[in-house]
Structure 1
Amino acid sequence: MSTKATRRGQAAPVALLLVTLLTGCGQPATGHPASGPTTTRPTSGGHPATPRPAGVAGSGSVAPTPSPAVVISYPATGGNRWSVAPAETTPGRGGGGRLLRYRVAVERDIRGLPVADVAAEVSATLNDPRGWTAGGTRRLHRVGADTPADFTVYLATPGTRDELCQDNPDGYTSCRKGDKVVLNVARWVKSVPGYSAGLAGYRQYMVNHEVGHRLGMGHERCPGRGRPAPVMQQQTLGMHGCTANAWPYPDGDRYTGPSGTYQDRIPPREGARPAR
């Protein structure tokens, strides 16, 4: 693909996303929406306790204090400068097979997504028992900036994505180019319309799909209407009758579809349009 599609000399507006961090029974406060409403801890009688400020006795409910919002912002094209996450403190999953070391880097122009948080999500996905280590032929371990790595997972602005991928400069998709696994921050923040597994599921999919390319996997097609999509299907562009699936080994066995791609239209470049 290509050549650079975005001129650095042009000032790009900044895309903003307000993400409310929820605590309690939702997802951990790492910048994604919770999967459900926050609930209160049951009392010994099995009924929800009435929330009230510390040190205040009495009955009745008290409105909880709103959690602060985190602003995630990024320009259409960043400066191609990176913050690299430290190494994992525990070994990656996988008891045998070839060891592959990877880094996680976040473009410095991306605000509100700390590199440690992004790296934790990437590593949790790659270490999941449904992930690429499940087959027993490979191990994956995250290393820091000063250790040799087999590949690097980049979270990049849309324009820098085009520079790193050197393919069709669409500014929309993610890619793999050599030892570069490039995740488009616009997709990391917004997912794609109608993705039924939610934002967390889409992030797991995009990590596993692009790392799958680095591991030598090609594109696959939907194996049948109503069935889960193979992780190597281009789910970003269309489901073609399949349902969302982020995992190469969803039930302990390698799940695949027929080799090939679809002629899906890539949505227009978003630039720095506000993310809502």
Structure 2
Amino acid sequence: MTPSSPYGPPAPPDQSGRSAYGTARPANVRIYRRRRRSLLLGLLVLAAAIVVTLNRGDEPPVEPPATTTQGEMGHGGGAPAHPTPTSYPSVGAGRFTVADGETPVYGTDGPLRRYRVTVERGTGQDAHAFAAKVDEVLTDPRSWIASDELRVQRVADAGAADFTIYLATPVTSERMCAEGGLTTERYTSCRLPGQVIINLARWMEAVPDYGAPLDTYRTYVINHEVGHEFGEEHEACPGPGAAAPVMQQQTYGLNGCLANAWPYLDGRRYAGDIVP
């Protein structure tokens, strides 16, 4: 006896020989297969997206905006309103390269003061280029030789030099100045007996609100520190709108004066009151 079906008696076969129940199964299978194909297609799309994402990981990352380190602004009114990029190190090798050769003697009268010029290694600065600027300043008729009381000459031999002018990184200059009891906070230049130490940060950046080109500040700092070596003391601003004396501490601020790099103006010694 044929077992009864819970779904009722079998449907009569159609002309193709398939039962009525049999026609429902292929439809379900087709729906299943379509869903499976859709699922597989979705997985393939997802896999392709993952591959593209992974491949993008091999591309160089986008560089963040470049940042620069400014020289310490412990004096002189804080950081400039519009910082400019800098390209100098804060510390160097602690050893110096001497500019070779020598200059003629400049000046008309007085004792001869011989100086030597050196640049700390690792600063990216050329000793001969720095020496050329020093020579240009100290042999100018507006500089100290205008007194007709001294003459100058650059030499390379340490034994022949009366003093040495150093261009040193902030860390090295601070250490050198501290050996003579001076505090510079890696910011200012200084002078010790026989040593004029120019801070690389100031050489590269000058100071905020100086109101004059970098070359003017460089001329000023050479004349100022060498002026100390020649026995000059600090001087005060004569008054608002006046030229700043070269022995004024212009690095700390002009106090109403205008930037000035020379000790002699119009052939005459230009000075302010001595700062006690």
Query: Hey, what does 1:196 align to over in structure 2?
Result: 211
Name which of 226, 233, 252 aligns with 2:241.
226
Matched, 1:77 2:77: no
| Shift, 1:168, TM fit | 1.2
Name which of 71, 95, 114 aligns with 1:101.
114
CA distance in 1, matches of 2:177, 2:204: 19
Query: Hey, what does 2:105 align to over in structure 1?
Result: 92
- Which residue type is aligned with residue 138 of structure 1? L
Residues 16 and 74 in structure 1, CA contact (< 8 A), matched pair in contact too: no
The equivalences for 1:108-119 within 5 A come to: 108-111=121-124, 113-119=125-131
| Shift, 1:143, TM fit | 0.2
Name which of 183, 190, 193 aligns with 1:175.
190
CA distance in 2, matches of 1:16, 1:73: 9
- Which residue type is aligned with residue 80 of structure 1? G
Flag the structure with more relative contact order, 1 or 2, with Cα contacts below 8 A and sequence separation at least 6.
Answer: 1
Query: Hey, what does 1:148 align to over in structure 2?
Result: 160
Runs of 5+ consecutive residues of structure 2 not aligned to the other structure? 1-67, 72-84
Query: Hey, what does 2:225 align to over in structure 1?
Result: 210
| Shift, 1:16, TM fit | 9.1
CA 1:179–1:171: 2 relative to 1, 3 Å: same
CA 1:169–1:227: 2 relative to 1, 3 Å: closer
User: Secondary structure at the residue paired with 2:145?
Assistant: coil
- Which residue type is aligned with residue 197 of structure 1? A
TM-score w.r.t. length of structure 2: 0.66
Aligned-residue sequence identity (percent) comes to 50
CA distance in 1, matches of 2:195, 2:143: 19
| Shift, 1:194, TM fit | 1.8
Runs of 5+ consecutive residues of structure 1 not aligned to the other structure? 1-13, 18-70, 262-276
Query: Hey, what does 2:7 align to over in structure 1?
Result: none
Residues 218 and 232 in structure 1, CA contact (< 8 A), matched pair in contact too: yes
User: Secondary structure at the residue paired with 2:268?
Assistant: coil
The Cα offsets for residues 93-125 of structure 1, whole Å up to 9 and x where unpaired, read as 2011100000000000101x2111000001100
- Which residue type is aligned with residue 92 of structure 2? G
CA distance in 2, matches of 1:72, 1:117: 19
The Cα offsets for residues 27-67 of structure 1, whole Å up to 9 and x where unpaired, read as xxxxxxxxxxxxxxxxxxxxxxxxxxxxxxxxxxxxxxxxx
User: Secondary structure at the residue paired with 2:197?
Assistant: strand
CA distance in 2, matches of 1:183, 1:204: 11
Residues 164 and 180 in structure 1, CA contact (< 8 A), matched pair in contact too: no
Query: Hey, what does 1:48 align to over in structure 2?
Result: none
| Shift, 1:87, TM fit | 2.7
Instruction: Please identify which structure carries the higher strand content.
Output: 1
Instruction: Please identify which structure carries the higher helix content.
Output: 2
| Shift, 1:196, TM fit | 2.0
Root-mean-square deviation (CA, aligned residues, Å) is: 2.0
Residues 174 and 186 in structure 2, CA contact (< 8 A), matched pair in contact too: yes
- Which residue type is aligned with residue 139 of structure 1? R
Name which of 169, 186, 202 aligns with 1:157.
169
Query: Hey, what does 1:241 align to over in structure 2?
Result: 256
Count of residue correspondences: 193
Which structure has the larger Rg?
Answer: 2
CA distance in 2, matches of 1:106, 1:250: 30
| Shift, 1:163, TM fit | 1.2
CA 1:180–1:249: 2 relative to 1, 3 Å: same
CA distance in 2, matches of 1:104, 1:15: 27
| Shift, 1:88, TM fit | 2.8
Residues 113 and 153 in structure 2, CA contact (< 8 A), matched pair in contact too: yes
Residues 85 and 145 in structure 1, CA contact (< 8 A), matched pair in contact too: no
CA distance in 2, matches of 1:84, 1:238: 32
